[in-house]
Amino acid sequence: MLGAIGLLLGNLADTKVLWDSNEKCITEGTLDISSYKLEELFEAENIDYEAQTLIRREISPNGKSRAFINDTPVTLDVMKKVSRRLMDIHSQHETLELGNRIFQLQLIDICADNDSIKKEYHLAWIEYSKAKKTYETLIRESEQLKQESDFINFQLNELVKADLKEDEQEKLESGLQLMEHAEDIKVRFNRIIDQSLHSEFSIRAGIGEVRAQLQAIASYSSHYSELASRIESLRLELEDIIHEIEKEESRIEFDPIKIEQTKDRLSLIYQLLQKHRLKNIPALLELQQDLQQKADKTLNLDASLSTAKASMEKTNEALNQKALLLSKTRQKAFAPLSKQLTQLIKELGIPDAVLKIEHQTGQPGIDGIDSLELLFSANKGIPPRPLAQVASGGEFSRLMFCVKYLMAEKKKLPTLILDEIDNGVSGEIALQLGKMMKTMAKNHQIITITTYRKLRQRGMLITSFTRTILLTRPSV
């Protein structure tokens, strides 16, 4: 049973668990999660939320494993994240989290019932973290910008001085080509003009003669008239073309000084493109804008740093105020929690139990300013020490059960699976254990694993369960 649940908790799979090594193994769990407020978790992991959630693990004969939540394939990490909010195995071998200071802090918070102030502190922590990150980023940027300031200004001044225009390069290259071939262009234009207008057999004269002949016979046929019109259009088009050529010819001039100026300008553009490893002037203009922003940022650096620092200090002050309030709620819970846990553990067969909470404060962190350590002693005359140093497996297990008993009064807990929690107890202690299970089972699901022999010996224990599932192992 624990092996099957372990697979749903995301534990590593082994082909040894296969009943038939030739067939796929499927383990499924249906859980009512309506009261666990896990909608945000499901949304964050892109899983369809269902109040009745189905968790499934499939293991193929070749050892490959697949995990599903509500028929959506998920990774084992996601399965662990979800299922461990829903199921909790409690045994002598799985209570190490009690020695974890984060868990101890969560226990205090549950008993202090300080959810609202914790949320306020968490929001203040987020605001402070953002402000601190902004300030630290500005400091790093300022140091880098100060180091680069001279180089940035040099590059910027070079580009500003160049006074580049977006389409300048294409115009200069086209203009240079015309100027360098001005003599050839001018000669050819003049030949065209002469052949079109001034030679003995000019194009204009030839078209004029054709036009006159067609007009003379145009009245004989509509087709002749159409041909005459077309020749007239051709004559007009020729006149327009010649006029344009004459204008272009008049514009063409060979200017060595202007050619050199154009070459110098293009040489500057090419040098800038090569220097910055860019392809065109728009890219240079974009670089200039970026350099200008950096230069402006450098000039306004002190003001920006001052504003960011003030914001960080303001949010830090608010954070410290919330941290003190949160710490006070926790400290109020120390004495009642210690007293309750000590009484409960004594009732479960450790009469000399002593439990204390060691508390220190420090700098604000994600969980506040409090650092806690549960100190425990099971034997008379031995001072309380950290749990990992003093508690045996059985003592640890019973103490953890008492912790969960108290937590169950304040919070909806996952399905609690008790693996031989009654190991080593009998008589009145066993009855007390059963009564505590009964109380917890009123609002929580409990699965208890024990042995058939123990159930027979502790018949009164069975009758104390209300919503508890009993799974038995045959006694050896």
Supply the CATH number for residue 14's domain. 3.40.50.300
pLDDT exceeds 90 at position 327: yes
81, 157: one domain: no
* Angstrom distances, CA of residue 254 to CA of 180, 184, 185, 242, 313: 7, 10, 10, 22, 70
Residues 204 and 73 in one domain: no
In a domain, 268, yes or no: yes
> Is the pLDDT score of 422 beyond 80?
no
**188 and 291 housed in the same domain:** yes
What phi, psi does 7 have (nearest 5°)? -65, -40
pLDDT digits (tens, 9 = 90+) for 14-43: 666 667 777 888 889 998 888 878 888 898
Q: Do the domain assignments include residue 80?
A: yes
Is pLDDT of 92 > 70? no
Q: 59, 85, 111: which is the final residue of a domain?
A: 85
Residues 69 and 197 in one domain: no
Do residues 55 and 175 both lie within one domain?
no
Query: Where residue 53 falls among pLDDT bands split at 50, 70, 90?
Result: very high
* Helix (H), strand (E), coil (C) string for 363-383: EEECCEEEEEEEEEECCCCCC
Same domain, 283 and 178: yes
User: Worst-scoring range by mean pLDDT, 129-133, 244-248, 358-362, 440-444?
Assistant: 440-444
Work out the mean pLDDT of the chain and round it to a whole number: 83
Q: In this structure, are 52 and 179 located in the same domain?
A: no
Q: Work out how many domains the chain is built from and give that number.
A: 2
Look at residue 320 and tell me if it is in a domain.
no
Whose tokens are 């036009």? That residue is 211
Judge whether 387 lies within some domain: no
Asked whether residue 369 is assigned to any structural domain, the reply reads: no
pLDDT tens digits, residue range 219-242?
888 898 999 899 889 889 988 998
pLDDT at 463: 39
**Does any domain span residue 44?**
yes
Q: Are 416 and 436 in contact (CB under 8 A)?
A: no
* 457 belongs to a structural domain: no
pLDDT more than 90, % of the chain: 21
> What's the pLDDT at 459?
45
Calpha distance 408→419 (Å, rounded): 18
Band of pLDDT at residue 68, cut at 50, 70 and 90:
very high
**What range does the domain containing 30 cover?**
1-85
**What is the C-alpha to C-alpha distance for residues 70 and 83, in angstroms, rounded to an integer?**
12
Claim to verify: residue 171 and residue 54 sit in the same structural domain: no
Residue whose tokens read 């389409």: 167
244 and 167 share one domain? yes
**Same domain as 185, residue 76:** no
Q: What pLDDT is recorded for position 257?
A: 86
Residue that finishes a domain, picked among 276, 298, 320: 298
Inside any domain, residue 290? yes
* Exposure letters 412-449 (e unless 16+ CB within 10 A, then b): ebbbbbbbbbbeebeeebbebbbebbbebbeebbbbbb
pLDDT (0 to 100) of residue 392: 65
Radius of gyration of the chain (CA): 45
Res 393: pLDDT: 67
End-of-domain residue from the set 298, 317, 347: 298
* pLDDT tens-digit series, residues 194-226: 888 877 678 888 888 888 888 888 888 889 899
For residues 58 and 154, membership in a common domain is answered with no
Same domain, 275 and 173: yes
Kindly indicate the confidence band of residue 464, based on its pLDDT and cuts at 50, 70 and 90: very low
